[in-house]
């Protein structure tokens, strides 16, 4: 399978980049599955149902979330009837929505998508190591699904690395989100799981992790309450990770993806037409 995971979409600029690039990439790379983190898509804080539909209409198959999952309170209602939207499985029992979903792709494949949140420097929730392993054990790679993607929304690189090695061989891709900065460590682990510590954001990088620079700088300088932060609206970079799997669902190719905006470009050149 050909999989593309797209990092945290931030505000209007990030949505515009996603809507512009994904239809082209789906066709050019013959993608089987596109997953995107949308927890910052609504003005940097949460997601609304119209924005969910905007991402899906552009070519996303599933949209994952994170610590801003319910910043838009309406999400607590519509997430119950939208299988396409996945919040962290580590939320307490009784939280609206679901933390994993088995996707039937348009190409006839089955892909498990799991979303989890870390515990280091984050709100204390269920153990992500146990929660994600439980979902993967219930839908084994190469048996019940053709691919498995884990979006690990976490702050600490050590926690992301530890989870990836813990799951090595049981997932096609373990990818970090949340810090909004793409890391330079995309690789395939010894047992066949593709990994990148952070996919980066899809947003304007002439910013402070997607937000207009003025207010974050003021807060660092003065440490006093101020205005609500707003997303930067310049040209955005679409950041993500491209993965190709073999017949057993394990990764055989992986590459970072960066298109447009301020960052140096990177592409899945193994899928580019000759």
Q: What is the pLDDT of residues 44-72, one digit of tens each?
A: 999 999 999 999 999 999 999 999 999 99
pLDDT at position 124: 84
Task: Give the domains, in start order, of the chain with CATH numbers.
Answer: 2-271 (3.60.21.10)
Q: What does the block give as tokens for 109?
A: 């494949």
pLDDT of res. 52: 98
Separation of alpha carbons 193 and 180, rounded Å: 22
Q: For 205-243, write each residue's pLDDT tens digit.
A: 999 999 999 999 999 999 998 888 999 999 999 999 999
Q: Give 68-106 pLDDT, tens digit per residue.
A: 999 999 999 999 999 999 999 999 999 999 999 999 998
Contacts of 183 (CB under 8 A, 6+ apart): 157, 176, 196, 197, 198, 200
Nearest-5° angle of CA 195, CA 177, CA 182?
A: 70
Are 203 and 8 a contacting pair, CB within 8 Å?
Answer: yes
- Relative to beta strand 147-153, strand 194-196 is unpaired
pLDDT for res 176 = 98
Question: So which residues are the catalytic ones?
Answer: 68
pLDDT at 274: 63
Pair of tokens at residue 17? 């980049």
Q: What residues does 173 pair with on adjacent strands?
A: 149, 194
Give the N- to C-terminal CA distance of the chain in Å, as an integer: 20
Secondary structure (H, E, C), 95-123: CCCCCEEEEECCCCCEEEEEEEECCCCCC
pLDDT tens sequence across 15-25: 999 999 999 99
β partners of residue 55: none
Sign of the torsion angle spanned by Cα atoms 217, 218, 224, 225: negative
């Amino acid at each position: 399978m050909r999989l593309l995971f797209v990092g945290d979409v931030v505000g209007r600029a990030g949505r515009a980049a996603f809507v512009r690039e994904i239809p082209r990439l789906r066709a050019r790379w013959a993608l089987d599955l596109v997953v995107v983190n949308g927890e910052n898509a609504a003005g940097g804080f949460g997601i609304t149902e119209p924005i969910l539909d905007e991402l899906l209409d552009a070519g996303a198959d599933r949209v994952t979330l994170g610590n801003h999952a319910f910043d838009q309170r309406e999400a607590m209602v519509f997430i119950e009837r939208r299988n396409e939207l996945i919040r962290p499985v580590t939320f307490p029992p009784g939280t609206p929505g679901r933390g994993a979903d088995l996707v039937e792709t348009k190409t006839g494949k089955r892909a498990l998508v799991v979303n989890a949140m870390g515990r280091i420097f984050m709100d204390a929730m269920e153990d992500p190591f146990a929660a994600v392993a439980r979902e993967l054990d219930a839908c084994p790679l190469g048996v019940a699904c053709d691919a498995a993607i884990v979006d690990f929304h976490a702050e600490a690189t050590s926690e992301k690395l530890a989870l990836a090695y813990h799951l090595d061989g049981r997932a096609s891709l373990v990818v970090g989100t949340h810090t909004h900065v793409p890391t330079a460590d995309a690789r395939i682990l010894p047992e066949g799981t593709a990994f990148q510590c952070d996919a980066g954001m899809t947003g304007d990088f002439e910013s402070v992790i997607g937000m207009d620079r003025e207010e974050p700088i003021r807060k660092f300088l003065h440490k006093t309450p101020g205005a609500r932060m707003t997303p930067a609206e310049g040209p955005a970079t679409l950041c993500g990770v491209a993965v190709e799997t073999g017949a057993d669902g394990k990764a055989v190719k992986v590459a970072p993806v960066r298109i447009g905006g301020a960052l140096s470009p990177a592409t899945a050149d193994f899928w580019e037409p000759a």
